[in-house]
Amino acid sequence: MALQDLTPQLRTRLNHAERAVGWFVFLAVALLLFGFGFYIYQTAQQRGWFVIKAKFHTYLQSSAGLAVGDTVVMMGFPVGNITGIKAEPPRNPHNVEVEFEIRDDYFRYIWQRGSVVIINSSGFIGARQLEVTRGTNGYEICVTQPVFEKSIPEIEKVVAGDPGHWQLAQDVLDASSNIVYNAFTMLDATNVPLMAELYTVVGGTNLAKLSDLAPPDDTLCVYNNTINRNRIVASWHDRQHKYINFTPAKDSAWLQSVEPLGVGDRVAQVVAQVQSALPGFFALTNQLARILSNTANLTSNLNATVVDVRPAMTNVVQLTALLHQPGGVGTMALGTNGPAQLTEALDKVNRLLASSDTNMDALVQGLLPTLLHVADITSNLNAQVEASPTLIPGMAKTIHDTDDMVQGLKHHWLLRSAFKKKAGETNSVAH
């Protein structure tokens, strides 16, 4: 049925229904677009599409457990993702290059000193994760301030026109490679002429003997601290002591990696250590077995010894019991009748000593008169000798004459045989 055949009331109702359906479809499409846009916005925020990202790379021994898109963490926070993993050429000293991005403002924690990439285990199936440590000293590796190479006259001109905003983007060294001016030193009308004099003294290079790394002529790398870009525009190079302009499409900053051994390698090391320790362990168990065997033999012998010693111990117990009794030591040494016999013998000795004292007194009393008579005789003899001084010499002469007479009789022919010597005898008197 054609629309013009409908009544005016039906056509009015149909127009209202079409208008309501149109508004419903419009609102549904608008809500769908809004939800899709909100989802894209949230995803962009989560993935850092609207923030500045710094590109880094590091070298690893193995890519096991790593995949493109894995999260990179710093201080426990997710700060970026792995963007590429590739093997290095055959003659390259490195095995695997891993590229990753760090979002703002976490890349501002990555400094020249202290920032490294640590490969941590993640999960129980060999997964690994990149962790970037926070820097402790030095310069930021990636910056958003553009670097300008300007000559000394140009630097003097811009410093005079815009003071307090221009700073060094490099280290200025002397001829002995000592740092005279650090990067980020504020430039002013005082130190710029000193830098010009340094160029003149060194000979056109501010890096001493590294002229191939120095800016051309008397050019210095500087930056304006009021100019910032919404991307990484320069990165620090240690060897050149300066910031170099950064091309995000092809450049990335290098970070040193600390790659601990994998679980498989650690298990292999543990197995190797166990294998090397097994001979000593077996020797120890053998020694322990011998010690236990010797201990068993010792205890067996000790049991037999205890059985043999038990009668002796019984006797010792009896002896100690006997010693505790009065007179136990005498009974043990002399027997049962010994103490009585010893007492009787001591009584006899006492009686003997008493009688000996009495007899000794009588004997002494009997000897005393005899000794007095002997004393009288010797006294009389002494008085006679003192009264006759020629008595002793006369007796001596008489004895000498008698000896001469006897010797003469020995030599007389009639009496010679009577004084004949026997074999082995010698004259008692020498002539």
What 3-state DSSP class applies to 54? strand
* Range of weakest confidence among 225-229, 301-305, 424-428: 424-428
pLDDT in tens, 120-144: 988 767 789 999 999 999 999 999 9
Q: Give the closest residue to 174 by CA, choosing from 147, 213, 193, 200.
A: 200
| HSE value, Cβ hemisphere, 13 Å, CA-based, for 321 | 6
pLDDT (0 to 100) of residue 256: 93
Beta-bridge partner residues of 77: 74
DSSP 133: P
Q: How confident is the model at residue 93 (pLDDT cuts 50, 70, 90)?
A: very high
pLDDT at residue 381 tops 80: no
pLDDT at residue 384 tops 90: no
Q: Which has more pLDDT, 116 or 281? A: 116
Helix axes 338-387, 391-411, angle to 10 degrees: 90
Q: How confident is the model at residue 264 (pLDDT cuts 50, 70, 90)?
A: low
* Range of weakest confidence among 22-36, 184-198, 304-318, 331-345: 331-345
Give residues with Cβ within 8 angstroms of 11, minimum separation 6. Answer: 3
Work out the number of other CB atoms within 10 angstroms of the CB of residue 105: 10
pLDDT (0 to 100) of residue 76: 92
Q: Which has more pLDDT, 415 or 294? A: 294
Q: Is 118 exposed, middle or buried (0-12, 13-18, 19+ CB in 10 A)?
A: middle
Cα(149)–Cα(170) distance, integer angstroms: 10
pLDDT at residue 429 tops 50: no
pLDDT (0 to 100) of residue 212: 37
Q: How confident is the model at residue 281 (pLDDT cuts 50, 70, 90)?
A: confident
Domain ranges of the chain: 14-47, 140-251, 358-417
Beta-bridge partner residues of 394: none
Which span out of 35-44, 67-76, 252-261 was modeled with the highest average pLDDT? 67-76
Identify whether the C-beta of residue 84 lies closer than 8 Å to the C-beta of residue 98.
yes
* Residue 14: both structure tokens together: 């149909």
Tell me how many degrees the CA angle 197-198-201 measures, rounded to the nearest 5. 85
pLDDT (0 to 100) of residue 403: 76
Distance of CA 351 to the CA centre of its chain: 88
Q: How confident is the model at residue 368 (pLDDT cuts 50, 70, 90)?
A: confident
pLDDT in tens, 182-235: 999 999 888 888 877 776 555 444 443 333 334 445 688 999 999 999 899 999
Helix axes 191-202, 152-161, angle to 10 degrees: 180
Question: Quick one: three-class SS letters along 292-343?
Answer: HHHHHHHHHHHHHHHHHHHHHHHHHHHHHHHHCCCCHHHHHHHCCCHHHHHH
Identify whether the C-beta of residue 71 lies closer than 8 Å to the C-beta of residue 99.
no
Cα(155)–Cα(189) distance, integer angstroms: 10
Q: How confident is the model at residue 422 (pLDDT cuts 50, 70, 90)?
A: low
Q: Give the closest residue to 167 by CA, choosing from 137, 202, 140, 201.
A: 140
Q: Indicate the average pLDDT of the chain.
A: 80
Cα(311)–Cα(313) distance, integer angstroms: 5
Distance of CA 274 to the CA centre of its chain: 23
pLDDT at residue 146 tops 90: yes
Which span out of 68-72, 290-294, 388-392 was modeled with the highest average pLDDT? 68-72
Q: How confident is the model at residue 107 (pLDDT cuts 50, 70, 90)?
A: very high
pLDDT in tens, 4-38: 566 777 777 777 788 888 889 999 999 999 999 98
Whole-prediction pTM value?
0.53
